[in-house]
Copies of this chain bind each other. A is one copy, B any other.
Amino acid sequence: MVITIKNTQESSVGVVETKYFEFSDFESESGERIDNVILAYETYGELNEEKSNAILILHALSGDAHAAGIHEGQNDPGWWDSMIGPGKAFDTNKYFLICSNVLGGCKGSTGPSSINPKTGVPYALDFPLITINDMVNAQRHLIDHLGINRLLAVAGGSMGGMQALAWLIRYPDRIRSAIPIATAARHSPQQIAFNEVGRRAIISDPEWKSGNYYDALPPARGLSVARMIGHITYMSDASMSEKFGRQRKGASQSHKFTADFEVEGYLRYRGDSFVNRFDANSYLYISKSMDNFDASEGKPLQDVLQGIKAKVLVIAFKSDWLYPAYQSKEILKACKASGVEATYCEVDSNYGHDAFLLEVEEEAHLIGHFLGRIFYEYEVAENYAI
């Protein structure tokens, strides 16, 4: 079995469209109800007749349903376009890919910025405090709707990896494999701390108004600061040194504390541009769902993995200090201890946490081969069964 992985932009899925799936009466883990849920999603490739080639792609904190290809009239490829397409790791010639924006998001799915049908105004903080399990539960409704009984794989990095773990533990019989990347079974206090200071920046912004800003200006400055903090943690000391060094910008300065180092200008730009594409309340809800996530809910992780037949590929990146490799190794160890078939790979990369989006070559090989094996084993099993 020879698998060739292409990473080039040439092998694109082309022009894609976001679709919307609607269902009613969702009950969150906290017991609160959402009358009507919309999930924005995209699909790439074709679902085969046996519906055995479907893979669910799971996005990170600020991601969305647009994982690959381009939208009509726009140039920006989806956030994991380097990994999804004909001949790529998630090979659209073989597999049917699905990516949905999470519940609680702001990119087409129902979240705090959506209109609450009971009041006719956005939910804001009346939106239930959703969990990673709620996100996964909503995705399961979408998978049901698409008529897929069993996914070939669920795969994602960072918060996407948490969702992959939640799928593995909550719906083990609905998946053949899970690929949690650059993630953790639960946040350490340092990870909570970085999220909390971002939330605090948003909440401290007078424009936040306890979340009721939708008829006025958003808390842009607070959200920008939150995103700046995020960006520092997504990169590594080494990747920042390579990218920026101590270079200064030549631009004129409006006051003594205008950004003058390149790295300062970059962070400010990334912070400010984030404000145009993300909702501050969604940032609060989603980051909190990550902090509250505990794959095994206080129990040892190996206890909740007992008896699971789905196979696991755990990937970590050496320079990722936000989700350090030891957290991925803990997942591997729990799989091994509970008899779940699991493979672990630590990819050498300078990119830090961003590596799961940028250090594509080795990641693509690992995932391409893993999926090829899972799919092959499934087909063999089916043929024996006939």
Closest 4 CB pairs of A and B: A204-B221, A189-B263, A189-B240, A189-B244
A271 near B: Cβ within 8 Å? yes
Q: Check B196–A225 contact: CB distance below 8 A.
A: no
Q: Check B192–A264 contact: CB distance below 8 A.
A: yes
Interface residues of A in 149-188 (CB under 8 A from B): 186-188
Q: Which residue of B lies closest to A261 (CB)?
A: B192
A104 to chain B, nearest CB (A): 12
Interface residues of A in 203-217 (CB under 8 A from B): 203-206, 210-211
Total interface residues on A, CB under 8 Å, equals 54
A68 near B: Cβ within 8 Å? no
| Interface 9-mer from A45-53, A55-63, A252-260 | A252-260
Residues in chain A within 8 A of chain B (CB atoms): 125, 129, 186-190, 192-194, 196-197, 199-201, 203-206, 210-211, 221-222, 224-225, 228-229, 232, 235-237, 240-241, 243-246, 255-257, 259, 261-264, 267-268, 271, 284, 288, 291, 294, 321, 324
Q: Which residue of B lies closest to A230 (CB)?
A: B197
**Counting chain B CB atoms within 10 Å of each CB, which of A188, A200, A271, A294 scores highest?**
A200
Q: Check A125–B229 contact: CB distance below 8 A.
A: no
Q: Check B284–A203 contact: CB distance below 8 A.
A: no
Complex alpha-carbon distance, A172 and B313, angstroms: 57
Q: Check B246–A189 contact: CB distance below 8 A.
A: yes
Name the B residues within 8 Å of A241 (CB-CB). 188-190
> Which of B187, B193, B240, B255 is in CB contact (< 8 Å) with A193?
B240
Complex alpha-carbon distance, A287 and B172, angstroms: 51
Name the B residues within 8 Å of A256 (CB-CB). 125, 129, 284, 288
Name the B residues within 8 Å of A235 (CB-CB). 190
A-B contact pairs, 12 of them (CB 8 A): A125-B255, A189-B243, A190-B235, A193-B267, A196-B259, A196-B264, A200-B225, A200-B271, A206-B206, A229-B229, A237-B324, A256-B288
Q: Which residue of B lies closest to A196 (CB)?
A: B264
Q: Which residue of B lies closest to A245 (CB)?
A: B189
